[in-house]
Amino acid sequence: MESCLFCKIIAGEIPSSKVYEDDNVLAFLDIRPVNIGHTLVIPKNHHINLYETQDEDLSRMIAVIKKLSIAIRNALNADGINIEMNNDPVAGQIIFHTHIHIIPRFKGDGFTHWHGARGYNEGEADEVIQKIKTRL
């Protein structure tokens, strides 16, 4: 895709701080990291998001994510790792090329999630399960 930022990074048209690269996957440091070591993992094939990404590309990505997560945690003495993916603008996706974030976490780093979590009302969980199952 000519206008895709990540495709330009893959093509070498835009510089990046590469952490890992093979024939199918590229990983590089996020330029606006949540924490130092925040890494993006992308397939070299262009896909807009999770919904459109080929299973083969996702499988390759997850194997790299596991390897990098261990290396990042150990190299930075991180207390944990978050693996995150944003799909669609409402979920925070701003670059429309499949990518997964590896975010090293440190005690007291101030990064929070799960705000506003709620439970299910009576019968609501069963209704949601049925809706999902009809779409599988």
Catalytic residue positions?
99
Provide the H-helix boundaries in 2-135. 5-10, 55-76, 124-135
Determine how β-strand 39-43 pairs with β-strand 100-105.
antiparallel
DSSP string, 62-87: HHHHHHHHHHHHHHHT-SEEEEE---
Distance of CA 59 to the CA centre of its chain: 13
127: which residues sit within 8 A by CB, 6+ positions away?
A: none
